[in-house]
Amino acid sequence: MTQTIDRSQIEALVRNVIRGTRDAAPAKVADSLSGFSPPGWVDGQPNLRVSISARHVHLTDEHVEMLFGAGSKLEPDKDLYQDGFYAAKQTVMVVGPRRRMLPNVRVLGPTRPFSQVELALTDSISLGIDAPVRHSGHIHDTPGCVLVGPAGTVKLDHGVIRAARHVHMNFADADHYGVKNSEKMQLVVKSKECGVIFEDVLVRADKDAKLEVHIDTDEGNACNLEAATEILLRKDSCGCKKK
């Protein structure tokens, strides 16, 4: 079932804040006899990482050529924590209504079947676009924008979203936390004078993923993530159902 998760939905980060943390639940120790260790695990334990995804763009092959010239391909600049994904050298300008724009928005690779722009709320306010909170790839009935590159422009009819917070993990991580794909978790960030508990952190389980929470810049700033003293990922609530 979880094999159907679209790996290409995994996006990105521009800044990483790494916090080793331990869940209250007992750790599942990797099988030391076989030498097997799930992706991202350190010393037989999940290794929680919380990353801030700054605003970014995903493009189709066709749009890469329209923006950067015929025959152009994305050029990897920096690898992201999730294997196979990268920040490209290329950036685009994102233009909203009344010519409001964000310059130099990073393109993340590899290319995708649909182009998509992921913004924080602050970005969308400055652009004048009312971007809804959506999970990556769920771009039906979303606003569009214009992308401007050095070789041309692309008009997107839809695809501008605020990326919903989520956590990538492999199935060993999911077992460790007692969660399944598409369930919700809580991320607790303890931070001096501005701690935050993030609800609705969607589990995106994939066999190759490494444990990593993605939040946007507004969320990272709200809890001053870089100065956080403790970070905890836990199963949503106590397990009781609210009536």
- Chosen residue from 11, 118, 206, 216 binding Zn ion by CB under 5 A: 11
Q: By C-beta, is 11 or 219 nearer to Zn ion?
A: 11
User: Per CB under 5 A, does 58 bind Zn ion?
Assistant: no
User: Per CB under 5 A, does 173 bind Zn ion?
Assistant: no
Least distance from C-beta 205 to Zn ion, angstroms?
A: 12
User: Per CB under 5 A, does 118 bind Zn ion?
Assistant: no
User: Per CB under 5 A, does 106 bind Zn ion?
Assistant: no
Cis, bond preceding 103 (omega within 30 deg of 0): no
CB nearest Zn ion: which residue?
214
The piece of 11-19, 67-75, 178-186, 223-231 that touches Zn ion (CB under 5 A) is 11-19
Least distance from C-beta 178 to Zn ion, angstroms?
A: 21
Q: Coil, strand, or helix at residue 96?
A: coil
Q: By C-beta, is 58 or 63 nearer to Zn ion?
A: 58
Q: How far apart are CA 239 and CA 145, in angstroms?
A: 41
- Site size toward Zn ion (CB under 5 A) is 2
Q: By C-beta, is 167 or 196 nearer to Zn ion?
A: 167
User: Per CB under 5 A, does 219 bind Zn ion?
Assistant: no
Which string of x and - marks every residue 177-216 that binds Zn ion (by CB under 5 A)? Answer: -------------------------------------x--
Tell me which residues touch Zn ion (CB under 5 A). 11, 214
